[in-house]
Structure 1
């Protein structure tokens, strides 16, 4: 696999995630965009680890840590969102002010 193709793919994933995070008004869509950004970064870690130093697995191990953090975010994020929805009856980002009661 050519390095440039993988870099274009990962930058495309990261760009879609940035665009979705900036323009989304829904918190669930923002969490999905964050997942896209993390996957683009993981793709870069694995690609550079394989391309430059295939004997050491530093990029692969670091990507496993990022995947674990993303899994925790995917488990805790919807729980927090359901709690916010239960209290505020909305999960729109611009309507939720958590500092007010």
Structure 2
């Protein structure tokens, strides 16, 4: 898994996708992380959670956080990011 995360929504999507790929239930993650399912729900939807909750949830999923030097977004990332914009706004 090598998701590039630039926004909270990116992080939420990556965590939700990882949870589904790993076949993990939200109740199990909540139990093993010591956090409520609501915290996981908020995290998966890109809402604010504490850093300690993020780390606990990742640990319960068997995942870690890795930091890299940021670069400019690729053309593919930009295309994916703005694909949902309405073309009518361009005129």
TM-score interval, normalised by the smaller of the two chains: 0.3 to 0.5
TM-score normalised according to structure 2 size: 0.33
Larger Cα Rg: Structure 1 or Structure 2? 1
